[in-house]
């Protein structure tokens, strides 16, 4: 596909038109006039060409269609008198099913259900990769693994992961973690990567990593062991020294050191299927201590024993029912 086509993402209407071209082709009733209209349709808009190419790639049926029949048109189904009303209706139904199936497949590919590895809420998981590298996935995380002769790539769709890269006598391809904001390159290291909303958070536990922000220019900044940074597509937002709590989740613990209560509740909420929120008036409170992530009810009981707060379950009928609120005692 050329650059002109690749720059356009076909929308459902374009895909529907491409599907109608296909089903008319499959009917065996396409004419030379249809062929001319098909050529004109593809040439009229780069999105049409992109939609046709996407539809071609989506089904092996195209490979079995004779070249002389590769003429179908979205308009033909409505205009062609040689097709009966029943045939037009049938072909339109097939096109609708084709588009629905294709769009459904696209949605599945983009959802976490198609991820190579994922964890449920409250679950943590360890993975050993083909090269011996080790991953520890945090709660509610999804990622893809793409190893080749040129690079070892982890695509972090969402969530947080600890990575310990493998070392061997033989030269190994470079190791990257891809996020929405750019790439984190391992330089023989152990580190965590967290895909947050609009930014990537990295903590280096051993050796070094390089941060390749998507839109940054110049040499990528390098973090050494004991350093923590957040970056967006434009580059590094801030740096600091790592804290013991940055990697405590790998041991199933939440370590708070004068942590704002809002951040504490938000972190516990990531490990619970029942929504957990903080009453607005309590955001100024801070908390310290060590709390188990595998038993958030126990952590919340300890919270209530430490601070003047209580848990309030919202009753049915409340717009936010089903949530647990940390409220003032």
Report in angstroms the alpha-carbon separations of 85 from 8, 91, 112, 123, 221: 34, 10, 42, 55, 65
Cβ contacts of 228 within 8 Å, gap of 6 or more = 201, 202, 203, 204, 239, 240, 241, 242, 243, 246
Question: Which of 1.10.220.10, 3.55.50.30, 3.30.70.2190, 1.10.150.120 would CATH assign to domain 252-328?
Answer: 3.55.50.30
Longest dimension (CA), the chain: 81
In this predicted model, what pLDDT tens digit does every residue of 208-254 receive, in sequence order?
Answer: 999 999 999 999 999 999 999 999 999 999 999 999 899 999 999 99
Contact between 271 and 293 under an 8 Å Cβ cutoff? The reply is yes
- Decide if pLDDT at 83 tops 60: no
Helix axes 12-27, 32-44, angle to 10 degrees: 160
Q: How many separate helices (H) and strands (E) can be counted in the chain?
A: 8, 16
The residue-averaged pLDDT of 243-270 equals 95
Specify the pLDDT at position 16.
74
Mean pLDDT computed over every residue of the chain: 81
Same fold, 117-244 and 252-328: no
What integer pLDDT is reported at residue 61 of this predicted model?
42
Tell me: the pLDDT tens digits for 146-161? 999 899 999 999 999 9
Q: Are 12 and 99 in contact (CB under 8 A)?
A: yes
13 — pLDDT class (breaks 50, 70, 90): confident
> Apex CA 115: angle with CA 110 and CA 120, to 5°?
110
> Domain residues of the chain, as ranges?
3-110, 117-244, 252-328
Per DSSP, 253 falls in state E
Q: Kind and range of the H or E element at 13? A: helix 12-27
The more confidently predicted of residues 123 and 65 is 123
- Output the pLDDT for position 49: 78
Give the right CATH number for 117-244 from 2.60.120.1440, 3.10.20.30, 3.40.140.10, 3.30.930.10.
2.60.120.1440
Q: If pLDDT is split at 50, 70 and 90, which confidence band does 171 have? A: confident
User: Quick check: 316 pLDDT over 70?
Assistant: no
Contact assessment for residue 10 and residue 50, using Cβ atoms and an 8 Å cutoff: yes
SS3 of residue 168 by DSSP:
coil
Tell me how far apart the alpha carbons of residues 148 and 146 are, in angstroms, rounded to a whole number.
7
Q: What is the pLDDT of residue 320?
A: 47
How far apart (Å, rounded) are the C-alpha atoms in residues 261 and 126?
30
The pLDDT value given to residue 208 = 97
End-to-end CA distance of the chain: 63
Quick check: 87 pLDDT over 60?
no
Tell me phi and psi for residue 175, to 5 degrees. Answer: -110, 125
pLDDT for position 3:
39
């Amino acid at each position: 596909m050329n650059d002109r086509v690749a720059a356009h993402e076909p929308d459902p209407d374009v895909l529907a038109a491409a599907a109608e071209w296909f089903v008319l082709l499959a009917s065996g009733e396409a004419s030379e006039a249809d062929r001319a209209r098909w050529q004109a349709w593809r040439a009229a808009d780069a999105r049409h060409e992109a939609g046709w190419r996407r539809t071609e790639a989506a089904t092996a049926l195209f490979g079995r269609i004779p070249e002389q029949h590769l003429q179908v048109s979205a308009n033909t189904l409505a205009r062609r008198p040689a097709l009966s009303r029943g045939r037009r209706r049938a072909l339109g139904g097939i096109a609708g099913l084709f588009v629905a199936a294709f769009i459904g497949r696209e949605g599945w590919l983009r959802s976490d259900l198609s991820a190579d590895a994922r964890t449920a809420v409250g679950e943590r998981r360890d993975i050993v990769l083909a090269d011996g590298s080790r991953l520890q996935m945090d709660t509610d995380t999804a990622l893809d693994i793409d190893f080749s002769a040129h690079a070892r790539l982890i695509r972090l769709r969402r969530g947080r992961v600890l990575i310990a890269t493998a070392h061997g006598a033989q030269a190994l391809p470079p190791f990257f973690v891809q996020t929405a904001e750019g790439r984190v390159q391992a330089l023989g290291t152990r580190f965590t990567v967290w895909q947050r909303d609009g930014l990537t958070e990295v903590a280096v536990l051993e050796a070094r990593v390089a941060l390749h922000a998507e839109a940054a220019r110049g040499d990528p900044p390098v973090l050494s062991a004991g350093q923590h940074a957040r970056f967006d597509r434009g580059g590094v937002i801030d740096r600091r020294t790592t804290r013991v709590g940055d990697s405590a989740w790998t041991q199933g613990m939440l370590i708070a050191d004068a942590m704002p209560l809002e951040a504490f509740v938000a972190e516990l909420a990531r490990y619970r299927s029942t929504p957990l929120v903080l009453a607005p008036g309590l955001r100024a409170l801070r908390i310290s201590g060590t709390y188990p992530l595998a038993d958030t009810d126990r952590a919340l009981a300890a919270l209530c024993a430490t601070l003047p707060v209580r848990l309030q379950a919202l009753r049915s009928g409340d717009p936010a029912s089903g949530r647990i609120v940390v409220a003032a005692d």
